[in-house]
């Protein structure tokens, strides 16, 4: 028999799903800041998976993924527990931006949080200590902001750490096909989780305004792959036999100002010297052709079709290997 699942005052008995809100802060007028949380406690024991979305306030694909995953989860058949925080960065979400306007911070630089810190640090502290630390596996759903990006998953822990292997395996099981394996900055949940011994990944589900249906579908498959692989739900995960791994990026910068005409598309596997884009003047004359400096994957590009000199045109994933 499974045990009670509890996050602060929210409680779910074995075989039960409970949706509710955690009050984590106060607004300027004293009204409560409440985060929507879902607890799904399987009838049978098994691992605990923590999911969160909207750590960056304008990255909305993750909440669409979690809602669909929850809809399809049956607590009577679940072997284990799922803790889902559907919206982490309340202040940033309401401001339609990545950063919290309450302290100007990015939530994903604030983990594991501080009890007496700034607004984002306090919220991170509550979630990390009361929810994340109960988990055996942790998935922090992100996307490349509003800039177009491929669907990929990130491993942010130092390769020399022992837990790196478990994080990379979790990324492989997520099965989205493209992995960035690169130590992240301090304060990322995908670094703080592993420091507590919890394998953690940071899926990046495309980049768009609003919801992108294709990226959301890949996110649902990824989360369900994890639930299947680690035995929480029945079924065979859909994991590609060969997935691309890169360990960093080349930045493709414009030397001239103008309009971008892309030669390459996202996901293209480029060889050294392949053209990425032309920079053109307002009349359409080509000012320069930007090329891949090495073999690489076209990972993300500019939102708008114009750039100033020195502005980013695109990012290319480098040092390709496969898992
Ligand atoms: Zn993000």
Cα(145) to centroid(ligand 1), Å = 6
What count of other Cβ atoms lies within 10 Å of the Cβ of residue 304? Answer: 9
| Cα-to-centroid distance, 16 and ligand 1 (Å) | 31
**How far is the C-alpha of 261 from the C-alpha of 186, rounded, in Å?**
36
Q: How far is the CA of 57 from the centre of ligand 1 (A)?
A: 8
- From the CA of 202, how far away is ligand 1's center (Å)? 9
CA of 190 to the centre of ligand 1 (A): 11
Give domain 5-229's CATH superfamily.
Answer: Zn peptidases (3.40.630.10)
- CA separation for the pair 130, 312 (Å, rounded): 40
Other Cβ atoms less than 10 A from the Cβ of 120: the count is: 30
Cα atoms in the 13 Å half-sphere on the side-chain side of 306:
6
Domain boundaries, the chain: 5-229, 250-322
How far is ligand 1, taken at its centre, from the CA of residue 153, in Å? 12
CA distance 193 to 184: 12
Compute, in angstroms, the gap from residue 264 CA to the centroid of ligand 1: 25
Mean pLDDT calculated for residue range 35-48: 98
Name which CATH class applies to 250-322. Answer: mainly beta
- Residue that has been written with the tokens 């060889």 in this structure: 271
Q: Quick check: 140 and 108 in contact, CB under 8 A?
A: yes
Q: What digits encode the pLDDT tens for the residues 134-177?
A: 999 999 999 999 999 999 999 999 999 999 999 999 999 999 99
Q: Which residues pair with 205 in a beta bridge?
A: 151
Rounded distance, CA 17 to CA 295, Å?
48
Burial class (CB in 10 A: 0-12, 13-18, 19+), 20: middle
Model pLDDT for residues 84-126, shown as the tens digit of each residue: 999 999 999 999 999 999 999 999 999 999 999 999 999 999 9
């Amino acid at each position: 028999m499974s045990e009670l699942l509890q996050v602060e005052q929210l409680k779910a008995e074995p075989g039960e799903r409970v949706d509710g809100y955690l009050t984590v802060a106060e607004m300027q007028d004293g009204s409560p800041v409440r985060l929507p949380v879902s607890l799904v406690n399987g009838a049978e024991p098994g691992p605990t998976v923590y999911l969160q979305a909207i750590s960056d306030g304008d990255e909305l694909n993750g909440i669409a993924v979690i809602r669909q995953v929850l809809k399809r989860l049956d607590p009577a058949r679940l072997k284990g527990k799922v803790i889902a925080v559907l919206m982490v960065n309340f202040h940033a979400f309401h401001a339609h931006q990545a950063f919290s306007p309450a302290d100007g911070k990015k939530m994903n630089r604030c983990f594991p949080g501080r009890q007496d810190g700034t607004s984002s640090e306090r919220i991170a502290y509550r979630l990390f200590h009361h929810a994340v630390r109960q988990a055996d596996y942790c998935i922090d759903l992100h996307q490349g902001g509003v800039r177009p990006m491929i669907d990929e998953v990130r491993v942010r822990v130092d390769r020399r750490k022992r837990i790196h292997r478990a994080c990379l395996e979790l990324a492989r099981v997520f099965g989205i096909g493209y992995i960035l394996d690169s130590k992240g900055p301090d304060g990322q949940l995908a670094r703080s989780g592993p420091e507590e011994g919890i394998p953690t990944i940071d899926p990046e589900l495309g980049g768009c305004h609003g919801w992108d249906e294709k990226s959301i579908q890949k996110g649902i498959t990824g989360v369900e792959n994890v639930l299947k692989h680690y035995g929480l739900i029945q079924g065979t995960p859909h994991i590609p036999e060969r997935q691309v791994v890169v360990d960093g990026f080349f930045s493709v910068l414009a030397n001239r100002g103008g309009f971008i005409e892309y030669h390459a598309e996202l996901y293209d596997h480029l060889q050294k010297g392949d053209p990425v884009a032309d920079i053109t003047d307002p009349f359409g004359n080509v000012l320069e052709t930007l090329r891949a400096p090495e073999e690489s994957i076209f990972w993300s590009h500019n939102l708008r079709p114009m750039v100033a000199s020195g502005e980013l045109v695109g990012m290319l994933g480098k040092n390709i290997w496969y898992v």
